[in-house]
A = this chain, B = another copy of it.
């Protein structure tokens, strides 16, 4: 039995949507259930007391039921499998009041055009990158930085996994106005980050036993997302240099940031700053001095583990962060956002423990 830790009270803004129905249930349609993020959302939502998955959206139905599609799930779980027009009808009739989109980037626009009723659902969480720049009235769903805004919103754009890790690693330093010059970011991701469509590059024989870098530099869309977040919290962002790397594990991100500092900061002072910034955050854990993060410790959990120090007479900040790209980096953070949007306790349905193997 889990004894709930006393969590910080999350101030819920006036005007947030009242939880629907007598039991405060959200009846959700999930778009993109076959991808890794969609499957993880399904897994988490099924363990959540306030979310009921009423429909899975598919581009084209093939007559297969949900248990036939998802053989690892309990065969007793069998939501409707619907085309987009059918979903639009569910929303119109009130049978579905939440749309969660785990779709390839760019797909939402098309849905909005063809099925405006779907895009007009009472609540929407979009896990693609389509609304992360804030257009379309979507709040940016990083609770540790924008909790109040999220709690007031009915439309949330869920951050990318790399951007979540980088932002959590740098926000306390950015808010303190410590950062100077370019920040060097190196990040490892598990193979699920590359999506579920079969490719030679991510086939078992090609991916096992090796690591590779890709699209290194500044062009990656994640770079702009990280810089935007740092600018939002501190007015200005240093330029980011970014090297994403894929390593042979299914899930997890391990990120390292080296940030030149304006002034010399002692390691203990840097740690103190991070500790006080995150003291009330249920999903951030600061490791004690001398320990460094590992992805296994946060596997399946919505936690982000951080460790930091300063080097070179305190002129370089070194931060490392570990999170599960499918949980805190995607589906878990979506649940966290839904908890905020609906006024439910922020940790509802989310594991703090990791499942290391």
Contacts and interface: CB of A to CB of B under 8 A. Distances in A.
A147 to B, nearest CB: 21
Interface string A315-357: 1101010100000000000000000000000000000111111
A352 to B, nearest CB: 4
A291 B75 CA distance: 15
A72 B355 CA distance: 7
Interface string A176-196: 000001101010101110001
Contacts of A293: 212-213
B182 A250 contact: no
Given A182-B312, A214-B292, A309-B217, A1 B206 contact: no
A8 to B, nearest CB: 13
B1 A52 contact: yes
A80 to B, nearest CB: 13
Contacts of A320: 213, 216, 243
A204 interface: yes
A184 to B, nearest CB: 4
A2 interface: yes
A46 interface: yes
Nearest to A74: B352
A319 B353 CA distance: 37
Contacts of A17: none
A152 interface: no
Contacts of A243: 186, 256, 318, 320
A191 B209 CA distance: 10
A269 B23 CA distance: 47
A217 B311 contact: yes
A221 interface: no
A280 interface: no
A151 to B, nearest CB: 22
A65 interface: no
Nearest to A351: B74
A233 interface: no
Contacts of A51: 1
A48 B1 contact: yes
Given A203-B198, A320-B243, A311 B52 contact: no
Contacts of A260: 181-182, 260
A215 B249 CA distance: 22
Interface stretch (A118-126, A136-144, A294-302): A294-302
Contacts of A299: 72, 209-210
Interface string A266-282: 00000000000000000
B1 A49 contact: yes
Given A2-B74, A184-B186, A216-B256, 13 more contacts: A4-B76, A36-B205, A182-B258, A188-B188, A190-B205, A202-B204, A208-B250, A209-B209, A209-B357, A210-B252, A213-B293, A241-B312, A247-B249
Lowest 3 CB-CB distances: which A-B pairs, in order? A5-B76, A210-B296, A212-B294
13 contacts: A5-B74, A5-B76, A46-B353, A72-B299, A186-B243, A196-B200, A204-B207, A208-B208, A210-B249, A213-B293, A241-B311, A245-B256, A250-B357
